[in-house]
Amino acid sequence: MTFKIGAAAGLALATGAAVVALAVPPAQAAQTGTRTAAAGCGGSLVDRKVARYQGRPIAELVVYYQRGKNCAMLNHLGVTRGKKLRTSVFLAACKETSPARVCHYHGKPAAQDGRYAYYAGPVRKAAGDRCVHAAGDIYFHGKRHLETSPAASHCR
Say if residue 134's pLDDT is above 50.
yes
| pLDDT of the residue at 3 | 29
116 - beta bridge partners?
Answer: 85
> What's residue 9's pLDDT?
37
Which segment of 68-72, 102-106, 144-148, 152-156 scores lowest on mean pLDDT? 152-156
Looking at residue 102, what is its pLDDT? 93
Across the range 44-50, mean pLDDT stands at 94
What is the percentage of the chain residues whose pLDDT exceeds 70? Answer: 75
Fold of 7-21+45-148: Immunoglobulin-like (2.60.40)
